[in-house]
Amino acid sequence: MKTKKIYIAGALLVLGLASCTDLDRSPIEQLSDASYWKSNDDAVKAVNDLYNCAPEWNGDAIIGLTDAAINSDDAVHGIKWSEGNISKGIYDPQDFDWAGNYGTIRQTNIILKYVPTVASMSDTEKAQAMAQARFFRAYQYFQLIRQFGDVPYTESPLTLEEQKDVKRAPKAEVYKHILEDFDYAATNLPKTWDGADDARITKGGALAMKARAALSQNDWKVARDAAKAVMDLGVYELYDQGNTGKYKELFWTATDNGCKETVIKKQFIAYKNDWYLIGWEAFPTIGWGGLNPTQSLVDAFEDKDGAPIAKSSTYDPTKPFENRDPRLETVVLHDGESMYGATVKVAPLKSCAPTGIGTHGDATATGYNQQKWLDPTVDPKTDGWHMDMDYKILRYAEVLLTYAEAQNELQPLDQSAFDAVNKVRARVGMPALQKTDSSKPTYCGTQDELRKRIWNEWRVEFALEGGHRQWDIRRWGIAKQVLNAPFYGLTYKLVDSKDADAKDGGKICILYSQDKDAKRVEVRKGHYEDHNILYPIPQKEIDLNPNLTQNAGYSK
C-alpha cells in the first residue's frame, strides 16, 4: 500500500465553493477572516486545494497528456472522436478557454491576501503557505503567456465588476512577475517534504519550473542558472543511472515513491482520483489505443552507435527495431509484441482486426501504439481504468537537458553542456556526444550540430510526455516545417499468397517492405501558420470584456 496524501479542498467544499473556482464564482474573499481564516489548518486546506487546480494535476490529466502529444508531429489519436481541432490545424477562438487558469490565480491571490492575517501561524508556516501559492500563480501565468502571449495580470482577487475592466498586460511584464514568484517559492520552500507530503512543491520543483518557463522564452541565462541551481541541490539523480536495464520502470507504479528523478509529480490513488491511463492508451481489445506514434517519431531514435538512422551503417529498414536506442522499445508498441496476454497485429487486413490499421474506429492509425506507461503489473481491463500510478510532471532529465541546451546557446560547445546531455544518454547505454573525434557518428563540431542533437534528445527522452514536443517545436521555430509535412505511419506491401485467409482476398501483408510499390500509411497533413505560435484569445472572454483584443491572425 503506497503512502500518499491526496490534497483536497475539504474546508472550501464545506463552505459551498467548488474546487478550482472560475472567475465568475462568488469570491472567496467575501468570507470574512472571522468566518474562515482562523487557523493554520484553514490555510493548509486552502493551499491543498491548489494541487487539484492545475491542468496537469487534475483528474483529467490523461486528456492533457494526449492533447499535448498529438498537437505535434509525434503522434496522432487512435480514438478518432477524441482528436481535437488543434491537431488538425484548426484554431477556433470558440474552442479555447482560460477560466480554469484564472480561477486558480484568483485562489492564490486570496491565499496571499489572508494567510498573513492568520495569527496562529508562525512566520515559517506563513512563508511556506505563500510560497506554494506563488508557485501555482507563477505556473498558471506561465501556461497563459506560453499559449496566448499578452494576458491580463492581477495580484488581487478581483470582483466581478473589476474583472470587466481588465486589459492584456505585455508578456514581458507578466514573465517578470512569473520569475519573481518562482524565486519567492524557491527561497521559502524546503528541499524535501516528509512522508505523505512528498508530492508538495519543493525548492527544486520551483527552480525547475522556473527553468522550464525561462527556456520557453529562450531566456538562456535564467534557464541555465535555474537548472544549475537544481543540479547543485544534491537531491536529484537519474533513475537507473547505472544503466542496469530498468529505464522502462521509470514510467511504472514501481517508481511512484522514492524515485530521485521525480522533481514534481501528481499522485493518483485507484478509485479516488483515477487517471485511466492504461485503459485509455493500451491497444484495442485491451484498452482504447489512444495514442499512435508517427513514423517521424520512430525514426528520431538513433542506432545503438549514436548515429541518426539516415547516416547509420547498422540500421536495417526491414527490421527497424533492431540495433536502436533502447528508449524506442520503451515508447513504441509495434507489430508482433505481446502485452497483457495479447499480441499486437497491425497489418491492414481484416483478419488482423481489431488491432489492424484502419480496421475499426479506435484502431491504430499509424501501425504503432504507445507503450511508455503500460505497466505489466497492472490489469488494463480492470485496474487500467482505476490506476494507482503517479504521473511525473517534471523529471530531473529535463533539468539536465535544459542546462545543456541553454549552456550551448550561451557558450557554444562548452564541455558542461556535453556532460549534462550525456548523463541522460548514458543511463540507457547510448554513446556520448563529443567534439574531438570527427570519425564517429556522435561528433558535434559546431554549436548548431550540438544544438540539433540536444533537440533530438528532448524528443526521444520525453516522447509522448505531455507539454514538451508541442512547445519545443514552437520555441525552436520549426513548427511550420514539421506540422505542415504529411504525417506517416509504417510501410507495408500486400502480396498474393496461397496461405492467405480468404477474407483477405488471398493476400498477406509484408511490413517494412522497401520495394518500390510498398505503401506508406499517410495519416493526414497538418496545417500551421506563423501566427499559430500563439493561440487565439478565448472568444467567450472577448464577448464578456470588450477591453480584450484578439491575437493577430485570428478573426475578431
Tens digit of pLDDT for each residue in 310-331?
999 999 999 999 999 999 999 9
pLDDT at 77: 86
Rg (CA), the chain: 24
The listed range with the strongest mean pLDDT (194-198, 332-336, 383-387, 502-506) is 332-336
Tell me how far CA of residue 340 lies from CA of 206, 247, 250, in angstroms.
38, 20, 19
- Percent pLDDT > 90 in the chain is 65
Domain ranges across the chain: 195-204+225-267+390-485
Q: What is the average per-residue pLDDT within 272-289?
A: 83
At residue 80, the 3 state secondary structure works out as: helix
Q: Is the pLDDT of residue 481 over 80?
A: yes
* Side-chain-facing half-sphere of 232: CA atoms under 13 Å: 8
Which tens digit of pLDDT belongs to each residue from 89-103? 889 999 999 988 998
- Percent pLDDT > 70 in the chain is 91
pLDDT at 62: 56
**Non-local CB neighbours of 351 within 8 Å, separated by 6+ positions:** 501, 503, 504
Average pLDDT score, the chain: 88
Report pTM.
Answer: 0.93
Report how far residue 395's alpha carbon sits from residue 488's, in angstroms, rounded to the nearest whole number.
Answer: 30
Q: Which CATH class is domain 195-204+225-267+390-485?
A: mainly alpha
**Non-local CB neighbours of 32 within 8 Å, separated by 6+ positions:** none
Report how far residue 255's alpha carbon sits from residue 257's, in angstroms, rounded to the nearest whole number.
Answer: 6
pLDDT at 13: 29
Question: Taking the CB of residue 449, how many other CB atoms lie within 10 A of it?
Answer: 14
Q: Is the pLDDT of residue 231 over 80?
A: yes
* Side-chain-facing half-sphere of 496: CA atoms under 13 Å: 0
Q: Which three cell numbers stand for residue 123?
A: 512566520
Going by pLDDT thresholds of 50, 70 and 90, the confidence category of residue 6 is low
Q: Is the pLDDT of residue 20 over 80?
A: no
Q: Is the pLDDT of residue 86 over 60?
A: yes
pLDDT at 205: 97
Q: List the single range of 148-152, 408-412, 461-465, 552-556 with lowest mean pLDDT.
A: 552-556
Going by pLDDT thresholds of 50, 70 and 90, the confidence category of residue 289 is confident
Which tens digit of pLDDT belongs to each residue from 40-80? 888 999 999 998 865 554 445 555 666 667 789 999 988 87
**Non-local CB neighbours of 543 within 8 Å, separated by 6+ positions:** none
Q: What is the average per-residue pLDDT within 454-475?
A: 94
Q: Are the beta carbons of 536 and 91 closer than 8 angstroms?
A: yes
pLDDT at 24: 33
Q: What is the DSSP string of 109-167?
A: HHHHHHGGG-TTS-HHHHHHHHHHHHHHHHHHHHHHHHHHSSB---SS---HHHHTT--
Q: Is the dihedral of CA 277, 280, 281, 282 positive or negative?
A: positive
pLDDT at 9: 39
Which tens digit of pLDDT belongs to each residue from 381-437? 888 888 888 889 999 999 999 999 999 999 999 999 999 999 999 999 999 999 999
pLDDT at 5: 59
Q: Is the pLDDT of residue 16 over 60?
A: no
Q: Is the pLDDT of residue 344 over 60?
A: yes
**Non-local CB neighbours of 58 within 8 Å, separated by 6+ positions:** 20, 52
Which tens digit of pLDDT belongs to each residue from 122-143? 999 999 999 999 999 999 999 9
Going by pLDDT thresholds of 50, 70 and 90, the confidence category of residue 25 is very low
Q: Is the pLDDT of residue 260 over 70?
A: yes
pLDDT at 2: 55
Q: Is the pLDDT of residue 263 over 70?
A: yes
pLDDT at 11: 33
pLDDT at 389: 86
Q: How many helices (H) and strands (E) does the chain have?
A: 18, 11
